[in-house]
Amino acid sequence: MKTIHSPLAMTAWCKALRRERVVIGLVPTMGALHEGHRALIRAARLRCDALVVSIFVNPTQFAPTEDLATYPRRLTQDRALCRQEGVDACFEPTAAELYPEGFQTVVSVPLIARRWEGESRPHHFAGVATVVAKLFGIIRPDLALFGQKDYQQCAVVRQLVKDLHLDVRLLMRPTVRERDGLAMSSRNVFLSPEERRVAPVFYQALVAGRRAIERGLRDPGSVQSVMRKVLEEVRSIAVDYLAVCHPHSLEPLDRIDRHAVILGALRVGAVRLIDNVLAERKYR
Amino acid sequence: MKTIHSPLAMTAWCKALRRERVVIGLVPTMGALHEGHRALIRAARLRCDALVVSIFVNPTQFAPTEDLATYPRRLTQDRALCRQEGVDACFEPTAAELYPEGFQTVVSVPLIARRWEGESRPHHFAGVATVVAKLFGIIRPDLALFGQKDYQQCAVVRQLVKDLHLDVRLLMRPTVRERDGLAMSSRNVFLSPEERRVAPVFYQALVAGRRAIERGLRDPGSVQSVMRKVLEEVRSIAVDYLAVCHPHSLEPLDRIDRHAVILGALRVGAVRLIDNVLAERKYR
């Protein structure tokens, strides 16, 4: 497996492969790889010839008050996982290489980004959209894979690719969960044992919401009540938002006709968790 | 010559050529082609195998108060000029095709865009950067040519290409002028005969500024005085700005060491003209 730091070297490596009609896959990550990333990498491995995993804790998607400094970094283990899974190249640029002096371009997807995560993290998705556009420029992958866990991020990237006519196929893969349902996340390490014990109630609430929709509930408010009832049982949990939304625009639905995504964010102690499920109301 | 309206068809046409290693050139225009565009097209023709000219009056780079509705449109003549010059494809999308429902991505280059034209036209360069990113996405040219007349636009596009790692070579070609020095512009048709008669003093002023720098003047303020003295002779002209700037960042220089660009905008009656010259202070 190659380890590549410089964007120019990464571009050159990919360009040579592309000339040979090699299909290039990309899994963009911030490192601290867990089983969710492994599943993305395995799904990518099946679908491309040359597989790049980028590892970059992107500073522009963190607000000054957020956890950029403490975000888990485990480069040695990350590389080992990549090697294990047959990754061809780890792209590990530094911030100075991606954002040199004079850098200033911003890519934003303002409508999809304005709600939910965008509300509590106002510049987050512009940071995400810009770095993804940069990675797509550097690597020019045929295929890029993202985890459903960051559903709003997936929606932002999908819109960006469409709007800028980027020639990359996107694949959103299902969230990988612990056995008790907690969505895998690099930030789960920050949960205390007690917080970790109650955290799975988040997914239980989402599943209850999904089940209510599947059974025919049309009113998003009622779905929310179902979910809040599940969460109320745990006093250490504070809901940030729970929303029943259109799966592409992420606008809250007035009425559930068929497809919806339930997006949620909550705090367990000091740790903020996000999760989501897709739901389909069955016609009867 | 092919005339292509749909972005998808344009992408398909280019993709087939690219597979055959054909070098694709792009001259992006808003139509109303004049000798300045012809020079760009000829320069492109020499440097690529397949030449695309895009003709699109981009609404997002006009403010509501600006001249979108009256901007000259002459599609038949434009196509004739393209045919004459051996263009392979005219890309003529509609606004609805480039900006379908749900479209929302914005590409901005905030530092280069904030001054000069950006000051009187706050969203102009985000409109330009976004549509250029879209055209580059649709066509994926190897080479794109821009006229120096829109110097700040060139600087915005150069930065955007660098920051997003786009694989396109940019070529800025010198401004083509009328015999009396007036920079060719699609908007020159709006000048009354009397305005047209005095307009060349703009270029005379810029040339006087350039000459002052070449002769060793280090102080931008003094260079501006030289230029203003030339313009003062014409009462119907109002200076919007005249600035001695760094050729890449477009920040005003405190002191001219070697390279500079003199950027200007002024009003002749109701018509706003922009022009610029590059200048180099000779070491002695």
Specify whether the CB–CB gap between A227 and A202 falls below 8 A: no
Is A112–B104 a contact, with Cβ atoms under 8 angstroms apart?
A: yes
Amino acid letter, B166: L
Determine, yes or no, domain membership for A153.
Answer: yes
Do A127 and A197 belong to one domain? no
Q: What is the pLDDT of residues B64-100, one digit of tens each?
A: 988 899 999 999 999 999 999 999 999 999 999 999 9
Do B58 and B193 belong to one domain? no
- Containing A55, the helix (H) or strand (E) segment is strand A50-55
Which one of B102, B137, B160 has the shortest CB-CB distance to A165? B137
Provide residues of B within 8 Å CB-CB of chain A.
7, 11, 15, 102-112, 129, 133-134, 137-138, 140, 159-160, 163-167, 248-249
The residue-averaged pLDDT of B155-166 equals 98
Determine, yes or no, domain membership for B75.
Answer: yes
Is A134–B249 a contact, with Cβ atoms under 8 angstroms apart?
A: no
Cα–Cα distance measured from residue A257 to residue A199, given in angstroms and rounded to the nearest whole number: 30
Q: What is the pLDDT of residues A23-57, one digit of tens each?
A: 999 999 999 999 999 999 999 999 999 999 999 99
Of A10, A156, A164, A166, which to mutate for an interface test with B (greatest number of B Cβ within 10 Å)? A164
The answer on pLDDT for B283 being more than 80 is no
Which one of B106, B133, B163 has the shortest CB-CB distance to A104? B163
Determine, yes or no, domain membership for A103.
Answer: yes
Nearest CA in chain A to B134: A164
Determine, yes or no, domain membership for A282.
Answer: no
Burial string for A26-58 (b: 16+ CB within 10 Å, else e) reads bbbbbbbbbebbbbbbebbeeebebbbbbbbbb
| Mean pLDDT score of chain B | 96
Locate B159 and state its tokens.
Answer: 């930065």
Nearest CA in chain A to B103: A163
Cα–Cα distance measured from residue B248 to residue B152, given in angstroms and rounded to the nearest whole number: 9
Provide the shortest C-alpha distance from residue B103 to chain A (in Å).
Answer: 6
The last residue of a domain, from among B125, B142, B173: B173
**Which residue of the set A5, A37, A124, A259 is catalytic?**
A37
Provide the shortest C-alpha distance from residue B69 to chain A (in Å).
Answer: 25
Q: Which domain holds residue B195?
A: 186-277
Do B129 and B261 belong to one domain? no
The last residue of a domain, from among A121, A143, A173: A173
Determine, yes or no, domain membership for A242.
Answer: yes
Confidence at residue B284, expressed as pLDDT on a 0 to 100 scale: 58
Do B120 and B245 belong to one domain? no
Chain B CB contacts of A165 under 8 Å are 7, 11, 134, 137-138
Chain B CB contacts of A114 under 8 Å are none
Name the 3-class secondary structure at A32.
Answer: coil
Determine, yes or no, domain membership for A179.
Answer: no
Kindly report the pTM of this predicted structure: 0.96
Domain count, chain B: 2
Provide the shortest C-alpha distance from residue A268 to chain B (in Å).
Answer: 34
Cα–Cα distance measured from residue A11 to residue B70, given in angstroms and rounded to the nearest whole number: 44
Determine, yes or no, domain membership for B146.
Answer: yes
Confidence at residue A284, expressed as pLDDT on a 0 to 100 scale: 58
Residue whose token pair is 């920051």: B163
pLDDT > 70 fraction of chain A, expressed in percent and rounded: 99
Do B245 and B199 belong to one domain? yes
Do A133 and A202 belong to one domain? no
Chain A CB contacts of B159 under 8 Å are 102, 104-105
Locate B164 and state its tokens.
Answer: 């997003």
Do B126 and B241 belong to one domain? no
Confidence at residue B268, expressed as pLDDT on a 0 to 100 scale: 95
Is A159–B104 a contact, with Cβ atoms under 8 angstroms apart?
A: yes
CATH number at residue A65: 3.40.50.620
Confidence at residue B282, expressed as pLDDT on a 0 to 100 scale: 84
Cα–Cα distance measured from residue A201 to residue B193, given in angstroms and rounded to the nearest whole number: 77
Q: What is the pLDDT of residues B188-217, one digit of tens each?
A: 999 999 999 999 999 999 999 999 999 999
Of B165, B167, B248, B250, which to mutate for an interface test with A (greatest number of A Cβ within 10 Å)? B165
Chain B CB contacts of A249 under 8 Å are 102
Confidence at residue A190, expressed as pLDDT on a 0 to 100 scale: 94
**Burial environment of residue A167 by CB neighbours within 10 A (0 to 12, 13 to 18, 19 or more):** middle
* Pairing relationship of beta strands A237-245 and B89-91 according to DSSP bridges: unpaired
The last residue of a domain, from among A119, A146, A173: A173
Determine, yes or no, domain membership for A180.
Answer: no
Confidence at residue A282, expressed as pLDDT on a 0 to 100 scale: 84
Do A168 and A37 belong to one domain? yes
State the pLDDT confidence band at B12, using cuts at 50, 70 and 90: very high
CATH number at residue A193: 3.30.1300.10
Do B73 and B158 belong to one domain? yes
> Is A37 labeled as catalytic in the residue annotation?
yes
Low-confidence ranges of chain A (pLDDT < 70): 283-284
For chain A, helix, strand, coil in percent to 5 are 40, 20, 35
Nearest CA in chain A to B166: A137
> What's chain B look like in SS3?
CEEECCHHHHHHHHHHHHHCCCCEEEEEECCCCCHHHHHHHHHHHCCCCEEEEEECCCHHHCCCCCCCCCCCCCHHHHHHHHHHCCCCEEECCCHHHHCCCCCCCEEECHHHHCCCHHHHCCCHHHHHHHHHHHHHHHHCCCEEEEEHHHHHHHHHHHHHHHHCCCCCEEEEECCCECCCCCECCHHHHHCCHHHHHHCCHHHHHHHHHHHHHHCCCCCHHHHHHHHHHHHHCCCCEEEEEEEEECCCCCCECCCCCCEEEEEEEEEECCEEEEEEEEEECCCC
Specify whether the CB–CB gap between B175 and B275 falls below 8 A: yes
Active site residues of B: 37
Is B104–A109 a contact, with Cβ atoms under 8 angstroms apart?
A: yes
Do B190 and B246 belong to one domain? yes
Do A136 and A202 belong to one domain? no
| Mean pLDDT score of chain A | 96
Q: What is the pLDDT of residues B96-153, one digit of tens each?
A: 999 999 999 999 999 999 999 999 899 999 999 999 999 999 999 999 999 999 999 9
Do B26 and B165 belong to one domain? yes
Specify whether the CB–CB gap between A17 and A48 falls below 8 A: no
